[in-house]
Amino acid sequence: MRFCSLASGSSGNCYYIEDSGYGILIDAGISPKNIKKRLKEIDVDIKRLYGVLITHNHYDHIASIGSLGEDYNLPVYSTQRILTGINENPKITQKLYQSRRPINAGEAFQIGSLTITAFKVEHDTPECVGYFIETPNSSLFIATDLGQMNETAASFLVKAKNIVIEANYDEEMLLRGNYPLFLKQRILSNSGHMANHITAKCLQQHFQSHWEHIFFCHLSKENNCPEAVLACIKKALDVVSNAQPSLHVLPRTAAIEPIDL
């Protein structure tokens, strides 16, 4: 399995996963032009994509989904409630019709050699999911927006060899910052976003020796920085293990070099 983050943050989220020639996107929160450009940078033609998985209907995850689904004829997979929410989002002017592929959380389905299971997570939208993706040789847990780690998500977290998980904000930076009170309360809530120390505690509590890579996604531009994330996570993992997985902070507006998982 090959993984590449094309963008990760409040300005847009998009991730590429490939195995045995089958490529998919998770979320499409940047423009089609930027998706094509960043895929080309890693020698992937958009025509090689077999579908797009959507986590929820917030605009920074679906900005270009209408074009990808209807113009590029890519199947768009998510739960029925999320697909309905996409078309109800007023910012999405190009609605999904023929490209819709409803799935059920908890039920695995196949795209080529990829076995994919959606699982529900807590976030302030009608419905939000993460994905557990398996191949014969690897597995990936991805949850980009987590108010908290629920039991279902945790059951997939401990099975995965590789993890993409939200570390949205440093709590002290958020509280000291200029966001209005209502927005701070939304972010801090159990259906908002995961703070660095909450993500660190979660990984410490569920630590598995088979974890290989952990990628930290959806960092806030104003209320976080890579150094704060890594310092917090390493301190927590030092408590449980001397042998730690590789830790990566995903950039907000650029693609990373693809990583074989």
Residue 50: Cβ within 10 Å count: 15
Q: Tokens for 162? A: 């590789």
DSSP state of 63: T
Residue 91: Cβ within 10 Å count: 9
Residue 125: Cβ within 10 Å count: 17
Contacts of 53 (CB under 8 A, 6+ apart): 24, 25, 26, 27, 77, 78, 116, 118, 131
Task: Report the distance separating Cα 257 and Cα 45, nearest Å.
Answer: 16
CATH number of domain containing 98: 3.60.15.10
Task: Give the pLDDT score at 244.
Answer: 86
Please return the burial class of 218, using the count of CB atoms within 10 Å of its CB with bins 0-12, 13-18 and 19+.
Answer: buried
How far, in Å, are 70, 81, 245 from residue 98 at the CA level?
Answer: 7, 16, 41
Under 8 Å between Cβ of 95 and 87: yes
Q: What is the domain range of residue 221? A: 2-260
How are beta strands 22-26 and 49-53 bridged, if at all?
parallel
81 alpha carbon, distance to own chain's centre: 18
Task: Give the pLDDT score at 55.
Answer: 98
Count how many Cα atoms sit within 13 Å of the Cα of residue 77 in the half-sphere of its side chain: 22
How far, in Å, are 44, 62, 123, 163 from residue 261 at the CA level?
Answer: 17, 26, 28, 10
Could you tell me which residues are beta bridge partners of residue 117?
Answer: 132
Element (H, E) at 34: helix 32-41
Helices marked H in 89-191 — which ranges? 151-157, 171-176, 181-188
Task: Report the distance separating Cα 200 and Cα 167, nearest Å.
Answer: 9
Please give the chain's pLDDT, 261 residues, in tens.
999 999 999 899 999 999 999 999 999 999 999 999 999 999 999 988 999 999 999 999 999 999 999 999 999 999 999 999 999 999 999 999 999 999 999 999 999 999 999 999 989 898 999 999 999 999 999 999 998 899 999 999 999 999 999 999 999 999 999 999 999 999 999 888 999 999 999 999 999 999 999 999 999 999 999 999 999 999 999 999 888 899 999 999 999 999 999
DSSP state of 255: P
Under 8 Å between Cβ of 113 and 141: no
Residue 72: Cβ within 10 Å count: 16
Domain count across the chain? 1
Under 8 Å between Cβ of 62 and 54: yes
